[in-house]
Amino acid sequence: MKKLILSIALVGAATFAFGQKKVVREAEKGFKSGDLAAALTAIDAATTNPETSGDPTTFLLKAQIQTKMFGADSTNTMETLEIGNAAYATFEKTMEMAGGDKASAAGKGVYAEELPGIPENLRPYSINSLKNLSFDKAIERYNEEDLEMAYEFFNLAGEIDKTDSTIHYNAGFLANDLGRFEDAKKHFNYLFALPDYNKLNAYYFMVQILSTEEQNPEGAYDMVTKARLEYPEDKVLAEYEIQLLLQLNRMDQAMAQIKEALANDPNNPGLWLRSGYLKEQSGDVDGGLADYKKSVEIDPEFYQGNYYTGALLLEMSTKMLNSLNDLSDAEWEKQSPIVGAKADENYREAAKYFTKASELQPENTDVMIILFQVHTRLKNTAEAEKYNQKLIQLLGPNWMDN
C-alpha cells in the first residue's frame, strides 16, 4: 500500500514538473510565432514557479521575448525604452544566475553574435540584438529630430556595450547638446577608457563642460593637462591650456605656454592676441599693442584683434590726457598741445581698427557708439553723424540717454 501511495506521489510530481515545462514550451512557441504577449505571460509564470525559476535559461527566454517585443515596437517612445530596459535587466539577471559564465548554455544564449543582415527568423535576440536594435532606434529618432529619445536609445545601447566608441560619442554629443552634462561626461569617460580610440573631440567637450557649464577652471585645466600628455602637438589643446591659465591668473605659466605655442604656430592670431593681453596686464603696454597689431596683420578679418588694438589705443590716449591733470598751470600750457596731438593720433589710428571691427560685426551698436565718440573727439562731423543715424535706427532717437 505504501509503495502504491509513493508511486502515485511520484507520478503527481512528474506531472506537475511536466506542466511547468509545458508553460516554458508555450512561451517558446509564442516567441517563435510572434504571439509575444502570450509568450510573455507564459514565461512570467515560469519565472515565478519554483520548478523553473531556478533555471537561468528560463530567464534567457524571457529576455529574448522582451527583446523581440522591443524590436517590434516602432513607436520608439519612452514606453518602448522601458521594454528595452526590462530586457537588459533580464539579461543581467540571467548572467547572475549563470554565475557570470559566458560559456554556459545560458551565457552563450545571452551573448550570441548577431551577424549583419541576418534573416529575422534566425536572429538570436541576444543582448547583442538588443544593443543593435537600440542603436537603430536612436538613429531613427535622431533623423526625426527627437533628440531626447535618440539620446535615451543611444544610452541603452551604451550601457550594454561600454566599449563601442560610436555609440558613446553619439550619446555624449547629444547629451551635451541637450544640456545633460552629467550624462555627457559619463559617456566621454567611457571613451577615455578605450586605449586605441582618438579621444581629442571627447577632451574638447569635457574641457568646455568643466570650464563653461560647471565654472570649474581647475578641473578643466587638469583635464587639459591630461589630454596634452596624450596629444602634445594638438594646437587646440594648447590654446585651451593658455586660456585656462589666464582664468586661473597663472600669468607666468600662461606666458611660457604662449611662447611655446607661438614657436609651433607663429601665424595663429588668437595666440598673438593672448600674448598681447598678458603683456598688457603685466604693464608692457607697448608690447601688448605690438602683439595685438600682429594678430590683425596675420588675419585682417580677426574681429577680436581689431577690437583689442583699437581699445588699447584709446586707453593709451585717455592716460595721456589724464596725465595733464598732474601738471602745473605753466606745464599744462606747454604740454597740452603736444599731448593732445599725440592722443588724437592714437584716436585716428583706433578709428581704423574699430571701423574694421564694425564691418565685421555690422549690428554691433557698442562699436558704433565708440566710433561716434572717436569721430566727435576728432571733429569729424560727417562721420560722427553717420554713426549717430545708424544708432538712431537701431536704438531709437534717445540712444544717448540710455
The 8-class DSSP code of residue 81 comes to H
For residue 3, the model assigns a pLDDT of 47
Indicate whether 346 pLDDT > 80.
Answer: yes
Distance CA 300, CA 111 (A): 59
**Closest by CA position to 220, among listed 241, 200, 236, 239:** 241
Q: Annotate 4-32 with b (16+ C-beta within 10 A) or e (fewer).
A: eeeeeeeeeeeeeeeebeebbebbbebbe
What average pLDDT does this structure show over 245-249?
87
* 99: its cell numbers: 554565475
Residue 34 within a domain: no
In a domain, 398, yes or no: yes
Is 50 exceeded by the pLDDT of residue 285?
yes
- Is the pLDDT at 160 greater than 90, yes or no? yes
Instruction: Please give the grid coordinates belonging to residue 61.
Output: 527566454
CATH number of the structural domain spanning residue 352: 1.25.40.10
Task: Give the per-residue pLDDT at 75.
Answer: 97
Model confidence at 14, in pLDDT bands (50, 70, 90)? very low
The pLDDT of residue 144 is: 97
CA 18 to chain centre: 55
Name the percent of the chain lying above pLDDT 70.
95
Separation in Å, CA 175 to CA 84, 187, 200, 206, 336: 20, 9, 18, 12, 61
Dump pLDDT digits (tens) for 68-119.
999 999 999 999 999 999 999 999 999 999 999 999 999 999 999 998 888 8
Give me the pLDDT at residue 19, please. 45
**336 confidence band (pLDDT: 50, 70, 90):** confident
Band of the pLDDT at 20, cuts 50, 70, 90? low
Contact 81, 98 (CB under 8 A): no
Residue 393 lies in a domain: yes
Q: Which residue stretches of 178-249 are H helix? A: 181-192, 200-208, 217-230, 235-247
Alpha-carbon distance 216 to 182, whole Å? 14
Domain that holds residue 298: 290-402
The yes-or-no verdict on residue 2 having pLDDT over 50 is: no
Block residue for cell numbers 545633460: 180
Number of domain units in the chain: 1
d(CA 30, CA 36): 6
Task: Classify residue 239: in a domain, yes or no.
Answer: no
pLDDT at residue 375 above 90?
yes
215, pLDDT greater than 50: yes
Does 306 reside within a domain?
yes
- Does a structural domain hold residue 76? no
For residue 310, tell me if it sits in a domain.
yes
Binned at pLDDT 50, 70 and 90, residue 142 comes out as very high
Residue 36 lies in a domain: no
User: How far apart, in whole angstroms, are the C-alpha atoms of residue 377 and residue 193?
Assistant: 60
